[in-house]
Amino acid sequence: MHRDVPSHGKDPAEQGPSDQLLYTAEQAADLLQVNPSWLRRKAIARAIPCTFIGKHLRFSANDLTMIITMGAHTPRGQH
C-alpha cells in the first residue's frame, strides 16, 4: 500500500504535485507521460537523475525537471 509522504506538515490529501518530496517510478512516469519501465531502465543505467533509498527508486521534482531539460532539443540552425 502506497502512502504519500506529507511535506511541510500538510495533510497528504491537500498536497499539490510540487509539495511532494519524492515520486515513485509510476508517479514520475505519469507526470512525464512515459512508460514506467522506460523510466526504470534509464534510472538503473544511471542515464537520468534519480534517487535510490535502499533498493527503492524515487524521483524528486528537481530530477523530473532535469529529465525534461535533458530531453529538450534545440531546433536545427539555432544555438
For the domain bounded by 21-71, which CATH number is listed?
A: 1.10.10
Percent of the chain with pLDDT over 70: 73
| Predicted local distance difference test score (pLDDT) of residue 14 | 53
pLDDT tens-place string over residues 17-53: 556 899 999 999 999 999 999 999 999 999 999 999 9
**Number of residues that this document lists for the chain:** 79
Q: Domain locations in the chain?
A: 21-71
pTM (whole model) above 0.85: no
In whole angstroms, what is the distance from residue 25 CA to residue 36 CA? 6
In whole angstroms, what is the distance from residue 31 CA to residue 16 CA? 12
In whole angstroms, what is the distance from residue 22 CA to residue 61 CA? 7
